[in-house]
């Protein structure tokens, strides 16, 4: 039996990842502030938690250990957007995004590590963003939070790969979700992101879930410390596609 925790799993990339891991034979704990919109499954534990609460990770991991007895994979997917430029960002807005996107990943990782370290095995996968790798206008706190995820991935590799725990990240590009549907109404965004993506389309949530599933599998046993862009080539090359 292999056990995974997926945060931010009520919809979008998180929901697709939970579904893919279940299909791959994992027992999965989903975590979100909203109830999961999926049929009940005997191998899934659905928890409603606000990860910004510092006590939430202990409750989550405790429930998983009680139900399944171990944690093999942690997928830190929970996150929010809504960032602005630095001069338009107040302390509350900065803290909200950093806390949700970066601090919760740190806390969840810290909470699962004792079980993983005791067994000398485990896998942690963070969800970063292309905007943690490449600058984008009016995006200060979000970019900083996702760049922090990229750095945390490398640092955790230095600390934990020698002890049997692989840490990687995925950096999605334009993936069709309810959040990006709004962005696609912006003509400049469409021009620079959608029409600039070499493969000529937006990604599906399953495109990201498939890469996460690979990183969680034994096929990725020698992949560690990487942030893999799942972006249709956008960070590697810019083109001008006609729609």
Tokens matching residue 241 = 């596609």
- Numbers of helices and strands, H then E, in the chain: 8, 7
CA 238 to chain centre: 24
> How far is Cα 147 from Cα 93, in angstroms, rounded to an integer?
17
Q: Is 142 a catalytic residue?
A: yes
Catalytic residue among 142, 149, 170, 232: 142
> How far is Cα 3 from Cα 96, in angstroms, rounded to an integer?
30
Strands 44-48 and 227-230: unpaired
> How far is Cα 92 from Cα 103, in angstroms, rounded to an integer?
15
> How far is Cα 218 from Cα 73, in angstroms, rounded to an integer?
12
Catalytic residue set: 142
């Amino acid at each position: 039996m292999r056990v995974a925790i997926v945060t931010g799993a009520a919809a979008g990339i998180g929901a697709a990842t939970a579904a893919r891991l279940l299909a791959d034979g994992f027992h999965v704990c989903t975590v979100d502030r909203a109830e999961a919109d999926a049929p009940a499954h005997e191998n899934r534990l659905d928890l409603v938690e606000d990860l910004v609460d510092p006590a939430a990770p202990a409750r989550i991991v405790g429930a998983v250990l009680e139900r399944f007895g171990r944690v093999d994979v942690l997928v830190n997917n929970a996150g929010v957007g809504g960032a602005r430029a630095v001069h338009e960002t107040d302390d509350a807005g900065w803290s909200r995004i950093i806390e949700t996107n970066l601090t919760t990943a740190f806390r969840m990782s810290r909470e699962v590590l004792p079980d993983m370290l005791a067994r000398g095995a485990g896998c942690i996968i963070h969800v970063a963003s292309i905007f943690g790798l490449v600058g984008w206008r009016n995006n200060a706190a979000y970019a900083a939070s996702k760049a922090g995820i990229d750095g945390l991935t490398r640092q955790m590799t230095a600390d934990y790969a020698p002890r049997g725990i692989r840490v990687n990240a995925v950096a999605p590009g334009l993936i069709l979700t309810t959040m990006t549907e709004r962005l696609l109404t912006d003509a400049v965004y469409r021009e620079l992101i959608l029409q600039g993506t070499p493969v000529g389309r937006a990604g599906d949530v399953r495109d990201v879930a498939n890469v996460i599933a690979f990183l969680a599998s034994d096929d990725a046993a020698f992949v560690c410390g990487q942030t893999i862009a799942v972006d249709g080539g956008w960070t590697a090359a810019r083109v001008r596609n006609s729609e």
